Structure 1
Amino acid sequence: MDGFEDVLIGTIGRAHGLRGEVSVRVRTDEPDLRYVAGGSVLIDGRERELASVRWHSGTLLIRLAGAADRTAAEALRGTDLWARVPADAVPQEEDAYYDRQLVGLAVVDAAGERVGTIADVRHLPAQDLLAVRTPVGERLVPFVSALVPVVDLEAGVVHVADVGGLLSDPEEPGSEPQVQGRG
């Protein structure tokens, strides 16, 4: 390993204007770090220079070197943009994590029992969700400290709070105490 990883940072959307600009669906928490005019992004493993970068009405617009008109911009629609980052890079904020640090970690319940593995991190407007692969299917866990109190990257584990229905369905055996009626 050369000490670097390729990380998905965005997907090109519609063309904007006539001079080769495209909108970008940003897929990074650090757009100002990843999108810099004169810098580069990776497309299909090859570097492409960012000729221009700007925000317009809350949408990131970029122009790649060599994409000089709307036709060239439209041809890029749907293309993923990647960045090559140091493998040991961590976010600057405390208690913040890159998706690549979380995917693959073991998930344990309050009793310390392994209940699954993080398969994906989904970024929604209200909050991020951890997609946890369990023996009974995928479960979505809101990535908030009340429900995910411990993230231990060194141990490769995430602890999830004991909340009924969070990692299991109520009808699953052992997920809820059963009350026996007299009959």
Structure 2
Amino acid sequence: MNVVLARIGKPHGLRGEVTVQLHTDDPETRFAVGTVIETEAEPGSGVPTTLTITSTRVHRGIWLITFEEIPDRSGAESLRGTRLVLPESNPQVEDEAFYEEDLVGLEARDPSGEKVGTVSGLEIGPAQDRLVLTLTDGVTAYVPFVKRIVPVVAEDHVVVDPPPGLFDLYREGTE
């Protein structure tokens, strides 16, 4: 299994530049000019198995990347939805990288060990990721996936220590 560093979005301009949704906290290093990066795309899509980064820039808070193998907008359009990945065996992968499929279904407990819900998803955000929880009363809540709030990720559960009142915010609209 590979670690997803980014997902390619729509083309930007005419020269093969694409937008990317980041899934890494270190894009400057991961997407340095000259880096050859592996791809995951739909079989038969014609997307190269690797792409070489020729430029990166941030425009209005969105990362834009061009690749040596993609000279124009139509080529960039063909990349839409492609994942830029790092092989799991790569030593640069952070020790604390979690996959959504590993988290979904885990019991969510408060620091005292009481069940508060179940992990039902992971949303990748531009600033930070969020765990999606289905609370024991059926309400969906979102918790920043940071060490301070989710201090423990074990094989069968996560410990969630949200700020006071966070879950109440999600319950207010359901009463």
- Asked whether the two chains share a fold, i.e. TM above 0.5, the reply is yes
Q: Which residue number corresponds to residue 39 of structure 1?
A: 37
- Cα distance in 1 for partners of 2:149, 2:38 equals 38
Are the counterparts in 2 of residues 106 and 118 from structure 1 also a CA contact under 8 Å?
Answer: yes
Question: Secondary structure of 2:111's partner?
Answer: coil
- Cα distance in 1 for partners of 2:153, 2:90 equals 15
Q: Provide, for residues 87-139 of structure 1, a one-character-per-residue CA deviation record: whole Å limited to 9, x for no partner.
A: 797515xxx44344544432112331222222223344554422112241311
Q: Which residue number corresponds to residue 26 of structure 1?
A: 22
Residues 162-181 of structure 1 mapped to structure 2, 5 A cutoff? 165-167=165-167, 169=171
Q: Which runs of 5+ in 2 are unaligned?
A: none
Residues 45-124 of structure 1 mapped to structure 2, 5 A cutoff? 48-57=49-58, 59-63=63-67, 65=69, 67-76=70-79, 78-83=80-85, 85-86=87-88, 91=94, 96-100=96-100, 102-124=103-125
Shift of 1:151: 0.8
Answer 1 or 2: higher relative contact order, Cα 8 Å, separation at least 6.
Answer: 2
Number of matched pairs: 161
- Cα distance in 2 for partners of 1:125, 1:84 equals 19
Q: Which one has a bigger Cα radius of gyration?
A: 1
Q: Assess, with a 3 A threshold, how the Cα gap between structure 1 residues 34 and 151 changes in structure 2: closer, same or farther.
A: farther
- Structure in which a larger fraction of residues adopt helix: 2
Instruction: Quote the sequence identity (%).
Output: 29
Shift of 1:162: 7.2
Q: Which runs of 5+ in 1 are unaligned?
A: 173-183
What's the RMSD between the two structures over aligned residues?
3.6
Q: Assess, with a 3 A threshold, how the Cα gap between structure 1 residues 156 and 23 changes in structure 2: closer, same or farther.
A: same
